[in-house]
């Protein structure tokens, strides 16, 4: 924890205030980059609408106080069922990017998923907060050799788990960025691929999205990861078929995700996909969920429908833009406070008590 942190972020009373401060601090094209989705943004909107289709079912007069929010995920301890997402180009939002996110997670007892396409290297983020920077994210996109080089770096940096993003064989069709003629600056994405003096942003991403990259499959991914002792999570799962295939390939966890509506427009929300995936892979496979989570009630609904933890992308980025490390810490603090309130009023003594009996489907208002 940085003792010089300005606690002015404690003035943020709600998560909405943090978003408003973040937007006020960013250039319009960067706000569009952060908040936009793919295509006509139908999936982006659907992610939020899906949570309104479930009502909570409180049980009262049970004398519960101070519910527990502690859990484990992929063998890692959490004080809150929350991870922060591996969003890239993080120094667009604050100069310290994921260094600050990891330190905020450490303060909150939560964990970072550290991105491959971020502003800082895996090694730098791990060094900034060994207690929170424990999961490294990368892509099965380039050559086998490049994939294995990244895997070796992650192992050498003492990461304890891996997140493999499986839903990005190419970038989504993001019309806000196209309309704005906006391309992120090179420095925002080159933490793990230092550029040469004459590099362009496409040179950095070209090391991920190789034009002549080989075809990837679950079999190939499983084979390349079979030599590591680190548990791995498959990110971008939206169907039961892919959930089963990922587990068969060796994944110990799944991240049910549509990339925050930023990849393929027109797909269902992550929350809508969750129950069928949980049913297909059974109770022993751990599941995280992202896309659309904005409140403590959203966390409760996701866990009741089969997730073990949720992953925060835009909320973490808002906190970063609003107040750096302290802003992200305040996001996590407010979520924890709301989660305590919701669990108490719901009559559940811990997040472990959440199941489908805590929710019921309704028509969205």
Predicted confidence at residue 186, as pLDDT, reads: 81
pLDDT exceeding 70 applies to what percent of the chain? Answer: 91
Are 324 and 293 contacting, i.e. CB atoms less than 8 angstroms apart? no
Predicted confidence at residue 11, as pLDDT, reads: 85
Binding residues: 86-88, 137, 165, 174, 235, 257, 259, 262, 290-294, 313-314
What average pLDDT does range 171-188 have in this prediction?
91
Structural domain contains residue 7: no
**Mode of pairing for the β-strands spanning 54-56 and 253-256:** unpaired
Closest alpha carbon to 65 in 348, 357, 311: 348
pLDDT exceeding 90 applies to what percent of the chain? Answer: 83
What average pLDDT does range 41-69 have in this prediction?
93
> SS3 string of 220-281?
HHHHHHCCCCCCEEEEEECCHHHHHHHHHHCCCEEEECCHHHCCCCCCCCHHHHHHHHHHHH
Binding residues for FMN: 86-88, 137, 165, 235, 257, 290-294, 313-314
Structurally, the chain folds into a number of domains equal to 1
Predicted confidence at residue 4, as pLDDT, reads: 40
Are 251 and 232 contacting, i.e. CB atoms less than 8 angstroms apart? yes
User: Taking the CB of residue 14, how many other CB atoms lie within 10 A of it?
Assistant: 11
Task: Tell me the backbone φ, ψ of residue 54, rounded to 5 degrees.
Answer: -125, 130
Are 351 and 357 contacting, i.e. CB atoms less than 8 angstroms apart? no
Write out the residue range of the structural domain in which residue 263 sits.
17-361
Three-class SS of residue 124?
helix
The pLDDT confidence band at residue 212, using thresholds 50, 70 and 90, is low
Structural domain contains residue 215: yes
What average pLDDT does range 182-191 have in this prediction?
88
Structural domain contains residue 263: yes
Looking at the predicted structure, is the pLDDT value of residue 5 above 50? no
Closest alpha carbon to 127 in 205, 186, 191: 191
Predicted confidence at residue 211, as pLDDT, reads: 47
Structural domain contains residue 223: yes
Predicted confidence at residue 2, as pLDDT, reads: 41
What average pLDDT does range 284-295 have in this prediction?
98
Q: Where are the alpha helices (DSSP H) in 26-120?
A: 28-35, 42-51, 97-108
Predicted confidence at residue 198, as pLDDT, reads: 56
Q: What is the value of pTM for the model shown?
A: 0.93
Predicted confidence at residue 141, as pLDDT, reads: 82
Structural domain contains residue 12: no
Average pLDDT, rounded, for the chain: 92
Residues involved in catalysis: 259
- The position carrying tokens 């106080």 is 65
Looking at the predicted structure, is the pLDDT value of residue 281 above 50? yes
Predicted confidence at residue 214, as pLDDT, reads: 63
Q: d(Cα 243, Cα 135) in Å, to the nearest integer?
A: 20
Looking at the predicted structure, is the pLDDT value of residue 306 above 60? yes
Q: d(Cα 261, Cα 100) in Å, to the nearest integer?
A: 25
Structural domain contains residue 3: no
Structural domain contains residue 4: no
Handedness of CA 173, 176, 177, 178 (dihedral sign): positive
Q: E-strand spans in the chain?
A: 54-56, 71-73, 76-78, 82-84, 111-114, 133-138, 161-165, 232-237, 253-256, 286-289, 309-312, 359-361
Looking at the predicted structure, is the pLDDT value of residue 197 above 70? no
Predicted confidence at residue 200, as pLDDT, reads: 54
Binding residues for glyoxylate: 174, 259, 262
Looking at the predicted structure, is the pLDDT value of residue 133 above 70? yes
Q: d(Cα 116, Cα 298) in Å, to the nearest integer?
A: 28
The enclosing domain of 197 has a CATH number of 3.20.20.70
What average pLDDT does range 119-132 have in this prediction?
98
Looking at the predicted structure, is the pLDDT value of residue 235 above 80? yes
As a dihedral over the C-alpha atoms of residue 23, residue 124, residue 143, residue 198, rounded to 10 degrees, the angle is 70
Predicted confidence at residue 90, as pLDDT, reads: 98
pLDDT tens profile 310-361: 999 999 999 999 999 999 999 999 999 999 999 999 999 999 999 999 999 9
Burial of 16-34, coded b for 16+ CB within 10 Å and e otherwise, reads ebbbebbbebbeebbbbbb
Of 69-83, 114-128, 210-224, 238-252, least confident by mean pLDDT is 210-224
Looking at the predicted structure, is the pLDDT value of residue 95 above 60? yes
């Amino acid at each position: 924890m940085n003792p010089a942190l300005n606690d002015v972020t404690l003035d943020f009373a709600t998560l909405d205030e943090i978003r408003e401060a973040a937007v006020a601090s960013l250039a319009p094209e960067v706000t569009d980059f952060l908040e936009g989705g793919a295509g006509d943004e139908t999936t982006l909107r659907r992610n939020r609408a899906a949570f309104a289709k479930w009502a909570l079912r409180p049980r009262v007069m049970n004398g519960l106080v101070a519910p527990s929010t502690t859990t484990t995920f992929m063998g890692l301890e959490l004080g809150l069922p929350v991870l922060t997402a591996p969003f890239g180009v993080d120094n667009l939002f604050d100069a310290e990017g994921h260094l600050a996110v990891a330190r905020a997670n450490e303060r909150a007892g939560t964990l970072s998923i550290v991105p491959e396409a971020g502003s800082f290297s895996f090694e730098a983020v791990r060094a900034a907060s060994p207690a929170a920077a424990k999961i490294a994210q990368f892509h099965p996109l380039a050559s086998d050799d490049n994939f294995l080089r990244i895997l070796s770096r992650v192992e050498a940096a003492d990461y304890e788990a891996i997140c493999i993003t499986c839903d990005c064989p190419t970038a989504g069709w993001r019309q806000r960025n196209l309309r704005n003629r906006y391309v992120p600056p090179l420095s925002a994405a080159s933490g793990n691929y230092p550029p040469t003096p004459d590099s362009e942003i496409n040179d950095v991403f070209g090391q991920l999205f190789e034009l002549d990259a080989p075809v990837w499959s679950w079999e190939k991914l499983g084979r390349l990861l079979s030599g590591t002792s680190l548990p791995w999570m498959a990110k971008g799962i939206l169907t039961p078929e892919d959930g089963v295939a990922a587990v068969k390939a060796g994944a110990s966890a799944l991240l049910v995700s549509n990339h925050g509506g930023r990849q393929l427009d027109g797909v269902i929300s992550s929350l809508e996909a969750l129950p069928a995936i949980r049913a297909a892979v059974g109770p022993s496979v751990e599941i995280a969920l992202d896309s659309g989570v904005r409140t403590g009630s959203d966390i409760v609904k996701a866990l009741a429908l089969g997730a073990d933890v949720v992953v925060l992308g835009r909320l973490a980025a808002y906190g970063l833009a609003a107040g750096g490390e302290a802003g992200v810490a305040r996001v996590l603090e407010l979520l924890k406070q709301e989660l305590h309130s919701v669990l108490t009023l719901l009559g559940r003594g811990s997040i472990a008590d959440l199941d489908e009996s805590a929710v019921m489907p309704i028509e969205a208002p």
